[in-house]
Structure 1
């Protein structure tokens, strides 16, 4: 996210966050153990970026507000709300940056172009000396595809009636994925893509298969079958992998790439990348 971002949270206690393993992208981890401001008690409007917290206590985390009253033997230690605020500059991924700030492994991603948050899976840990305190993830069409290709989201494709756009399983890019709800083979997803120059291109289909058998699909370009693509189990419906093939694409602004399921059961489809 280019520029500054505000990390805030209010809590009635301390909750640890499990470390999250980076997957697709890996910018440097942000070191956020110092530079925090703390206020014991609830404060109206403290979540606003412009809120003035200069009078709050400056500290580093980890921190407990019961360090004194919890150890005096009186049993009257504070059990209310406490506010922590910190300003952080996140890495500039692209001009349409998006990032998650979360203490628990998933959260909302802010797309600077659409001004709409979407739910995604956190991937990159923001670390302190004692562990992960937040996560940051570049996500969806706001970021370039790995290898410099163009992302075409499944929710923007032409879906037949056996597919619905869903957000139940995390880890997808964009605003959702195509969830197969059919009972027969032949279901299709198709994208119209721009091809600046003719030639061999990589077609990468991002999918999830939570079953225990392969759920293959045919790939065709402008109605001509290119190949059959295996989509073996990924280990869960929120575990996403990429199946790829090479195809010779013609130059043009209306090239159709279609995925046709060849079994009565199909994978969930997240996106197509052409590179």
Structure 2
């Protein structure tokens, strides 16, 4: 941890979230389903829809979003209200906070017990000066453990819009995500909808779709649980390329296989805001 940011003396009071209109948590019961990918792409799609978006990366042991948005290596500064998030674009329409910005070296591991993780999450929630945002996307670690409970307890006073729950099509993933839906119910967190990620591979040459990991499990789970199904995002080499290079996939590849899926998910989120207002 960089020494100038190692102090956790400030008690978070949540006032920095006063200007945030809608908070969405991205959850899944297991790792490797692409929560960070979905978080970044929803944020980019909402930005292209004219919204001002923040991303809070509370995956303390796997902070990958700074690289996905080509923001790694940036410094976090302090102001009177707390920490200033890193702005991803010149227009300051996407802001980001991640523990990845606080490490001395990118390969440093976070070897912390639960209380220290929980303290950092509380500070992230209370001490980041987000300013006015239309949406705050919270990217969470896998599971339903201490970090999730701490995040929910810290955000509950601000009435989160709900959770986008990410799964992959195969039965093992669906089983774990079913537990995540139970977590949402126990925590009183509405489910915005389920996203089935890695849903088939669309060949970039012939456009034929191959269901590498089966198909339809996410939609069936949504139907069974009585929650919205937001859509399927296929395996797309162009999306992978964008994430590796920190490019804006929504801007760079509007004709790609995953583009329409991601923009449709973002539009359903916007429609939900309109219907709830």
What is the TM-score when the length of structure 1 is the normalising length? 0.26
> Which structure shows the higher strand fraction?
1
Q: Which has the higher helix share?
A: 2
Higher alpha-carbon Rg: 1
Instruction: Give the alignment's TM-score, normalised by structure 2.
Output: 0.25
Higher relative contact order (CA 8 A, sep 6+): 2
